[in-house]
Amino acid sequence: MTVDSGRRVGAHPEIGTERAGSALRIGALRGRLEVLQFFRARESVVFSFLFPVILLVIFGSIFDQRIAPDVTFTQYFVAGMIAAGLFTTSFQVLAIQIPIERDRGVLKRLAGTPMPRSAYFIGKIIMVLVSSLAEIAVLLTVATLFYDVSLPVTAGRWLTLAWVSVLGIAACTLCGIAFSSLPREGRRAPAMVTPVALVLQFISGVFFVYTELPGWMQQVAALFPLKWLTQGMRSVFLPDSFAASEPAGTWELDRVALVLAVWVVLGLVLCLRTFRWTGQER
């Protein structure tokens, strides 16, 4: 019997580098494919990508009152909707899409090829980044054109937008991949994921002003990343005077960073422990 020495690939650093290089190269190819698939599929464009825009238009048109002297509810809602949009394009899309792929044997097929397994995740991350960027761009365009929301003017605020988005997307992406191990069948995934996403949006200060929610509800929401992502977005889009109306009287950006980072680590650990390439071996 011949023994394939390639089995101990990790022992050869030059081959390890070559493998890492091919993981990035193939990951990039997978990313292109995922983006193509995402934007060609009408249901993902309408129900995942455009849904936050539809909500923005509806809520922005219904509620017109001021919640602070220089802040309208619409402005508050835009910040929340950008956070919710990122939550949708990362957590919700992956938590629904991956169980379906597992069910249909997409993952099994890939696991049967020499594709580096990390390339699959790189591809998903590229898809999430591209669709999230596009989501922010569309939401900001609609908000600035129709709902009297102004783009951040200082470099500091753009920087905050960037790191809050990246950290938030990272946390929600990893949680989405981890959550994808829960549904036993792909077709049950939407029914499990949608309520989770909706409830989080209701209690995290997207649809309602966070400080007006009951205390216990605020405490529950504070355990999850969406509340902090939303708060981070308010620090970008609302005037500094509004910080006083936040629960702690400040934007708490250090806390935003901390909680999101904890969810990144937690999500990563869950992914590594629970991810399955095949349906359950019964």
Partner 1 sequence: MTDTAIRVRGLRRSYGPNPAVDGIDLEVSRGEVFALLGPNGAGKTTTVEILEGYRRRDAGEVAVLGVDPRVADARWRARIGIVLQSTGEFEELTVAEVVRHFAAYYPRPDDPGAVIERVGLAAKQGARARTLSGGQRRRLDVALSIVGRPELLFLDEPTTGFDPQARRDFWDVVAGLTAGGTTILLTTHYLHEAEALADRVAVINRGRILDVAAPATLGDRHRQPATVRWQGEDGPREVRTDTPTRTVTDLSARHGGEVPGLSVTRPTLEDIYLSMIGASGPDTPAPGESG
Which residues of the chain form contacts with partner 1 (CB under 8 A)? Answer: 1-4, 6-7, 9, 19, 25-26, 29-30, 33, 36-37, 40-41, 101, 104-106, 108-109, 111-116, 278, 281-282
Q: What letter does residue 92 receive in the DSSP assignment? A: I
C-beta of 111 vs 140, nearer to partner 1: 111
C-beta of 25 vs 66, nearer to partner 1: 25
C-beta of 115 vs 171, nearer to partner 1: 115
C-beta of 8 vs 66, nearer to partner 1: 8
Q: Residue ranges of the alpha helices (H) in 63-188?
A: 73-87, 93-103, 106-111, 117-146, 155-179
Find, among 23, 47, 170, the residue nearest to 97 by Cα: 47
Residue 21: CB minimum distance to partner 1, A: 13
Residue 282: CB minimum distance to partner 1, A: 4
Backbone dihedral region for residue 213 (phi beyond 0: left; psi -120 to 50: alpha; all else: beta): beta
Q: What letter does residue 251 receive in the DSSP assignment? A: -
Determine the Cα–Cα distance for residues 282 and 280; give it in Å rounded to an integer: 6
Residue 218: CB minimum distance to partner 1, A: 42
C-beta of 29 vs 140, nearer to partner 1: 29
Residue 249: CB minimum distance to partner 1, A: 49
Give the chain's length. 282
In the block, residue with structure tokens 């995922």: 34
Residue 213: CB minimum distance to partner 1, A: 40
